[in-house]
A = this chain, B = another copy of it.
Amino acid sequence: MITYKEKSQTANLRAIRRLAKEISSAHVLPLAVVHGGGSFGHPLAKRYAIKDGFKKSSQILGFAKTHLAMVTLNRLVVDALIQHEVPAVAVSPSSCIVAKSGRISTVSSEPLKKMLQLAFVPVLYGDAVLDSDLGFTILSGDQLITHLATSLNADHIIVGLDVDGLYSADPKTKPTAKLISHVTLKELKDMRLRIEEAKVTDVTGGMLGKIDELIPAIERGTTVLLVNAAKPGNICKALKGEKVTGTLIEKE
């Protein structure tokens, strides 16, 4: 969404600026932003097999390149937000999070909590992080979102996608696929098999992985709203709590 997936390390600056403007217009606080890697982080992470952990010395430079690519994309996002007067502060996951076998293990959340108290908007991202078992790994934006929502006691998670939300089947191949506007955790479990057919995937797991990762937050009461961020106005409306096409996921 904020990068051109086909073009290596090419940002969609138009989309970034529009979304920054929407976030600015919504005037919602407290707010934290998490973005993915797109064509910045993903190709490098894949090429150097960062997710699998440290196996050979050539990966070391690969990890460094992957993190640099993510910092580069993050800088563009933060810059756009600041241009729209959002006090965005980059928070680098690899500087404050260590994983264990691919899952978040230790987090230094004090800087983040203090930022939110002062009305800053921390901007995080999926990142290459150190891992006490694997050496290093990839921390997906989705895993990060759930962790933040839980530790910061978030009311809402808004997930910006390039589709309208969760469908009964893959809308790109099945014209009969219907957008599910509301779903509970129980209904979600019943639907799992159908979601697995949807194949809206990406390196970090696609729609199914995305929802799976968010379940711990939903279980403790955070609502999740999936919306199409490619459609102008949606993110602003979603942030303001206005009615918007999408999928609302609630505990019950």
Chain A interface (Cβ within 8 Å of chain B)?
A: 54, 60-61, 63-65, 67-68, 71-72, 75, 78-79, 82, 85-98, 106, 108, 110-111, 114-115, 118-120, 129-130, 132, 135-136
CB-based nearest B residue for A98:
B110
Is A120 touching B64 in the complex (CB atoms < 8 A)?
yes
Contacts of A72 in B (CB 8 A): 75
Is B111 touching A129 in the complex (CB atoms < 8 A)?
yes
Contacts A60-B119, A68-B75; A114 near B89 (Cβ below 8 A): no
Is A118 touching B60 in the complex (CB atoms < 8 A)?
yes
Contacts of A78 in B (CB 8 A): 64, 68, 71
Is B92 touching A90 in the complex (CB atoms < 8 A)?
yes
Is B91 touching A111 in the complex (CB atoms < 8 A)?
no
- Partner of A82 from the list B68, B87, B89 (CB cut-off 8 Å) is B68
Is B64 touching A88 in the complex (CB atoms < 8 A)?
yes
| Distance of A70 Cα from B61 Cα, bound (Å) | 23
Is A90 touching B68 in the complex (CB atoms < 8 A)?
yes
| Distance of A67 Cα from B91 Cα, bound (Å) | 10
Contacts A78-B71, A85-B61; A96 near B119 (Cβ below 8 A): no
CB distance from A127 to the nearest CB of B (A): 10
Is B63 touching A120 in the complex (CB atoms < 8 A)?
yes
Is B111 touching A96 in the complex (CB atoms < 8 A)?
yes
